[in-house]
Every structure is written in structure tokens, then in C-alpha cells.
Chain A
Amino acid sequence: MKTIKLDLPLAEKQIIQIRSGDFVELSGFVYTMRDAAHKRISEMIEKGETLPFELKDSSIYYVGPTPSPDNAFPFGAAGPTTSDRMDTYAPIMLSNGVKIMIGKGKRSSNIVKLIEKHNALYLATIGGAGSFLAKKIISSKNIAFKDLGTEAIQLIEIKDFPCIVINDSHGNDFYRGLSAIAP
């Protein structure tokens, strides 16, 4: 199986070349965000407030990590959370320039269309591989919402972070190509 190594952020031309079903390893900077941070960012956008970071061309990882027990890595376990809960917020995130979303599980058909429209990507990493994925995160810095604890936004640097491309910029859906999962 071929592994495609990618450095973030990706250029428009690179995104177009990536296809659903590709196995990729990402390196670069990503923001952690899950339910509570999405809700706050969406509300800030609606109110026209200044955001704590630039959404344009950003990559988001749906994760609520555990604290690190040592100095080796910033987190103890840092696997993905279920992406479909973020489907409520993904339209506003995509229309404000988010290019890459990383999580687990399938997206709604509406989000699949929006990913195509905005020339973006949705990637799944390995659910439950918390300790393994934590070693692919080499630095972390708090950006906003410290009061949310594990749900705070962190800017993390990932290195050779493994993902499967689920939804590409051409409207393809890796899971829909497999018959087993309910529509």
C-alpha cells in the first residue's frame, strides 16, 4: 500500500490531486477543536467577533486529548472523536476557509457536497489508537478557551500523522464506495 507524505498547509493544486481511499501521512500545524470549541467559534463568527486564529487554509483535528504523564510528548492519548457531531458546524467552518478536517466516521451528504464545493478534504485517522497517535504530535500550544479543558483549542505540530482520505475535493466518498455502511 502506497503512503503519500504531505506537508501542511496544502496548495489548491495538491488538494485536487488527492483522492478518497489514499493513505496519507501529514506533517505540519493543525488546530484541535471538538464540540464545545466549534460552538463558540460559530457563535463568534455569527456575531462578527475577531477569532482567536485564522480559519483560512487551516486544518482542524477533532480531538480531546488526555494530559501527558511525561515530558516526551504533549499528550498521553490523542485519537480522533466522531466527526458527524461536527456536521452542524462544518458548513460555517468550510465557508470561512477551513481546508482539512480530521476525525473518524462518515460525514452527512450535505457536508460531502460542501467539501467538494470548497475544494477541501475530510480525513479519518485511527479511532482508539490514542497512545499511538499521541506520539505523532510533537508540540502543542494553547490558543483559546482554556476553561474548556480537554476541549480547548490547541495549535499542535504533527509529524507523519496517518490518515485515510474519506472525502476528496471531487465529491468522492470512501465509505459510500463500500457497501456495508448505512447511507
Chain B
Amino acid sequence: MKKISSEQIIDALQKAVIRANVSLDANIIAMLRNAIKKEENELALKILNILLENAEISLSRNTPLCQDTGVAVLFVTIGSNVSIKGMPLEKAINEGIKEGYEKGFLRKSIVSSPIKRINTNTNTPTIIHYNYTEGEEFIIDLLIKGGGCENKSALKMLKPSDGINGINDFVIDTVKCAGAAACPPFFIGIGLGGNFEKCALLAKKALLRDVGAFNSKEYLKSMEVELLSKINKLSIGPMGVSGKTTAFSVAIEEAPCHIASLPVAVNIDCHSHRHRRIVF
């Protein structure tokens, strides 16, 4: 039996939320550099160079990449031989998030009710999804998700006869509608199948994939490659000023579904893609 204390969880999470908000992943910096090499539009180039400089300033001044320090979305994978000591897991997670947002001078962006709209001033309650496995595995995937790109995400229940063309059209339309406001170049998570709510969760989960990696299933990989190429041909470009790079990656996750259904969800993430994996 693997024993983990709630203090360990709190400490790891508060450090991870600060790190995720302040330090741009080295792979994304490489993607920005690559986009700069390819870009011909002067204004798009200027924006990409500012984004690189922004990442440097964030590290040196210890300030967030973006003022929207987001909602912390957590995917917790917990094995049957893991025992949490101290606080209940959910309480410990919220405590870690709260501490991180306070210590890291991060913005608190959660309101207690969508109608009353009073800020909780802690950036909690946070959003947690659990996945139960065997053994001693205990992993927390942390995604810092901004509101601007989340607002431009969409879900549609297609007909099975709509097929791959229908899926591609819906993804392209969603990206066009997201345009400049959702902060391109994007990272795009796509969920296919499941049902209404499962499909949305798959799209979010797709954003946890290592940046630039493709699905191991060949037919999904070829869809990812085709969609990424189609999206970049839209020439929306960095911050919508037109340019070569509109998306850095497209990741698809699928699940079995009803004979009548073809659910598709598109979760857009901005260029400030902030993901950390904590392995205990």
C-alpha cells in the first residue's frame, strides 16, 4: 500500500499551479521559435516575438504568462493500492490550489454562482475528474484553463452519416468562430463519441497529451494531421492578424457511443497552454 499525506498533495499542487502559470513549457517555446522561422507576415512575427519575450519576462519577474490564471482543472489517476492520510483528497486538492493562487500572486477568477457572480477569492472550488486504476499509481494532471478560449469551445451531436467530413466541418467552423479572441496559435482538444457529457470530457482530456504527440491509433492520427493542416490553411495566424500558424496541435480522443450518435466536442486552448503532470 502506497501512503500519501494530504500535506504532500497540498505542497505539490501549490508549487505546480505557480510553476504552470509562470513557466512556459520548453516544447511550446520551441514551437513558437519554429513558427517565427516560418512566418512571413511582419505583424504576426512581431506578435510571436512578443510572446517569446513574454515567456522570458514571466520567468525573470516570476509573474504569470497571462493575467487569466484560469480555472485549475485536475485529472486525478488513483490506484487501488493508494491510501491518502489526513484530509479527504478533494479538500486537500482545493487547499493546494488556494495556497498556490495566494502565494503565486495569481488571479482569482471563480464566482460562487453563475447568477449571483460573487468572487470566492480563493480560485476554488476547482474542477476535478477522477480515474481509478489498479496498483500504486497516483498522478495528478493539472491544466490551467483560461476563460477566453474555453468560451469559444463547442459541442455538437452529429448524425453518424455526417462522418469524418461532418466532424472536420464542425471543427473548422469552431476554430473560425474562435478567431482572434481565443488567442491563437491554439492547442485543440477534440472528443469523439461517448455521449453528451463524456464527449466534452474527452476533448478536455485530449489537451493533456504531450504537446505535439499524435494519437497511437493510426486512423485518429491521420485525422489529427489532416485537421491541423486544414486549420493552418485558414491563415487566421497569431492573434488573428493572419499568418502561417493558427494551431500548434490537434489531439483527438475517442470513446464508444450509441448507434444513433456521433458526438463531437472541440475544446480550444490558447497559445499559453499550461499543463503539468505530478507523479507521486
Contact = CB atoms under 8 A, between A and B. Distances in A.
Interface of A: 1, 23, 36, 63-70, 72, 75-79, 81-84, 104-106, 124, 126-132, 134-135, 148-151, 162, 164, 174-175, 178-182
B21 to A, nearest CB: 9
A130 B65 contact: yes
B235 A180 contact: yes
Contact of B183 (A76, A127, A148): A127
A1 B46 CA distance: 9
B97 to A, nearest CB: 15
A1 B246 CA distance: 22
Contacts of A181: 176, 179-180, 236, 240
Interface stretch (B88-96, B106-114, B159-167, B188-196): B106-114
A129 B235 contact: no
26 contacts: A23-B43, A64-B68, A66-B106, A67-B107, A76-B61, A77-B66, A81-B147, A82-B181, A83-B181, A104-B148, A104-B180, A104-B239, A126-B239, A127-B66, A127-B183, A128-B271, A131-B61, A131-B63, A135-B57, A162-B50, A175-B180, A178-B235, A178-B241, A179-B235, A180-B246, A182-B176
B50 A77 contact: no
A45 to B, nearest CB: 20
A1 B57 contact: no
Interface of B: 42-43, 46-47, 50-51, 53-54, 57-58, 61-69, 105-109, 117, 119, 121, 147-148, 151, 173, 176-177, 179-183, 234-237, 239-242, 246, 270-272
Interface centre among B65, B106, B181 (most CB of A within 10 A): B181
A70 B237 CA distance: 34
A132 B105 contact: no
Contacts of B43: 1, 23, 164
B121 A149 contact: yes
Contacts of A132: 50, 53-54, 57
A66 B64 contact: yes
B181 A130 contact: no
A132 B107 CA distance: 16
A82 B150 CA distance: 11
Nearest to A151: B119
A151 B179 CA distance: 25
A78 B242 contact: no
Contacts of B183: 104, 127-128
A67 to B, nearest CB: 5
Given A69-B61, A105-B181, A126 B51 contact: yes
Contact of B148 (A77, A81, A180): A81
Contacts of B67: 63-66, 75-79, 130, 134, 150
